Amino acid sequence: MLLVECCRDGCPSGRFSHLHRGTLELCQSDHWVTSLTKALLPRLLSLAGRPALGRVLVVPNFFHLRMMETIVLFGTINIFVRESTYFFLCLPHSCFSSPVSINQPLRMHCQTCALVTSSGHLIGGGRGEEIDRAECVIRMNDAPTARGYARDVGRRTSLRVIAHSSMQRVLRSRHELLNASQDTVFIFWGPSSYMRRDGKGLVYNNLRLMNQVLPKLKVYIISWQKMLQFDELFKKETGKDRRISNSWLSTGWFTMTIALELCDRINVYGMVAPDFCREPQHHSVPYHYYEPRGPDECAMYISHERGRRGSHHRFITEKRVFAKWARTFDIHFYQPDWSPPPLPANRTLEGTVTTAPPVTQKT
């Protein structure tokens, strides 16, 4: 992998924990390093409006080719890398901007994160204390911690990722979710029409009002450039164009991807394996732990996965991607406890069987 640093102060050293604008990371494999460096690197740098000059460092680990494709697609070099292991996202943090001032990027890093889903599988598990011991606790939408749920889901919340469609529910629960959450970071996501800053963006307008009422609240939005990257990531991982397939990315997709940027280790609570709902004797639980009379989780997953008319979440498809990521990154699943199966062995032309090569873990 090549690290190209075009900053005026020269290349940083050490763990690369403070790289900033002007930093480019590209995946290299032995058979095309030379051609890429000679042919594409000057073009990539020129696309970003910077001179085709820079110090080149060869560093360990790997970087996925799709990062180069993303750079070409968006014509930008604007990447922040902490451990040289991210393979699909550009510039964590700066793509999450405050709705009050775009010059206030989110800066957050956690060694261990508990990503708490909203699944009914959490009920009765008694994982609350374990969840609260994580350095950072991540939750979604309006999932509560009060009302007797703390024993199973914990009390702390470091980061809450909220969909545009959950905005009103969050406001209705503002005394629990907002007023008592001065230390919690909130990231809101939604289509560009909801985030418009010309007075017509419904979510953006509400966030402005929220900031006036609770000025100390740490509220961020995902930029439209970042939203495009989430779409591109879905296409790269699944082969499906989100728009053509009438798919809506779920809040779980955004949350897992954000967690990969912010966390060294991710402990996911309440997420089932991709094939769980195909098991004939699978345990039936509500879709949300705080809506015991709500829809069945597997019924919801299957309905959305098979839906063709209108837009649907592809929950099962997303979980297949998460399982694949867990083979590469430090991701673990609890309540229910499961691990992705190992990759199948490869059979060579001579008939011998070899196992899949080891994948570098994110540490």
Nearest to 143 by CA among 327, 245, 288: 288
State residue 132's pLDDT score.
Answer: 97
Q: Which of the residue ranges 79-93, 187-201, 230-244, 323-337 would you say has the lowest mean pLDDT?
A: 79-93
Residue with more model confidence, 342 or 12? 342
Give me 70's structure tokens. 């993303």
The DSSP code for 37 is: I
pTM of the model: 0.68
Q: What is the pLDDT of residues 57-111, one digit of tens each?
A: 322 222 332 333 333 323 333 333 332 222 222 223 334 445 544 446 778 899 9
User: 45, 24 in Cβ contact below 8 A?
Assistant: yes
What pLDDT score does 282 carry?
81
User: Which is it for strands 110-116 and 247-248: parallel, antiparallel or unpaired?
Assistant: unpaired
Q: Looking at residue 332, what is its pLDDT?
A: 97
**Domain boundaries along the sequence of the chain:** 2-74, 96-334
Write down the residue that tokens 């732990």 correspond to: 289
pLDDT beyond 60 at 314: yes
CATH ID of 96-334, from 3.40.50.300, 3.90.1480.20, 3.40.50.720, 2.40.50.140: 3.90.1480.20
The mean pLDDT of the chain is 71
Q: By mean pLDDT, which of 41-45, 73-77, 327-331 is the weakest?
A: 73-77
Question: Does the pLDDT value for residue 327 go beyond 60?
Answer: yes
- pLDDT value, residue 26: 39
> Model confidence over 129-175: pLDDT tens digits?
999 999 999 999 999 998 899 999 999 999 999 998 888 898 888 88
Q: Which of 39, 51, 90 is nearest to 67 (CA)?
A: 90
Cα 137 from chain centre = 14
The most confident of 37-46, 89-98, 222-231, 258-267, by mean pLDDT: 258-267
Rounded to the nearest 10°, the torsion over CA 223, 91, 113, 60 is 160
301: nearest Cα among 336, 272, 258: 272
- Average confidence (pLDDT) over 303-331: 80
pLDDT of residue 162: 93
Burial-class residue 282 by CB neighbours within 10 Å (0-12, 13-18, 19+).
Answer: middle
Q: In which band, very low, low, confident or very high, does the pLDDT at 308 lie, cut at 50, 70 and 90?
A: low
